[in-house]
């Protein structure tokens, strides 16, 4: 049996002639979005999902949390990998020159 997310709020809104819908004030408030804020929309199995920018950032951070190493920044690891790769390429290039 599928699991479903807890429904916090429900509302009905109509699609206007331009294809726009109004997100009711209570839902906007609970989502933490204001006029001019960007929102992300995804269509999942015929269901439109709207997510605030901050919500998306938090969700992605949670998804990547299992890969984090305590006390190690991913950016430092990436820089070290790129430097090692550049060092190997330089050695290879020098070997071909000789």
Q: Write out pLDDT tens, residues 59-77.
A: 999 998 898 888 888 889 9
Give the closest residue to 69 by CA, choosing from 59, 80, 53: 80
Longest Cα–Cα distance in the chain? 74
User: What's CA 13's distance to the chain center, in Å?
Assistant: 26
pTM for this model (two decimals): 0.56
- The residue length of the chain stands at 98
pLDDT band at 89; cut points 50, 70, 90: very high
**CATH level 3 topology of 1-67:** Pemi-like Protein 1; Chain: D (2.10.260)
């Amino acid at each position: 049996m599928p699991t479903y997310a807890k429904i916090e709020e429900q509302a009905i809104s109509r699609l206007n002639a331009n294809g726009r819908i109004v997100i009711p004030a209570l839902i906007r408030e609970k989502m933490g979005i204001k006029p001019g804020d960007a929102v992300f929309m995804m269509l999942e199995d015929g269901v439109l999902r709207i997510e605030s920018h901050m919500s998306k950032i938090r969700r992605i951070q949670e998804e990547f949390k299992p890969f984090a190493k305590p006390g190690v920044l991913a950016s430092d690891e990436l820089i070290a990998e790129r430097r090692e790769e550049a060092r190997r390429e330089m050695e290879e290039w020098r070997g071909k020159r000789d």
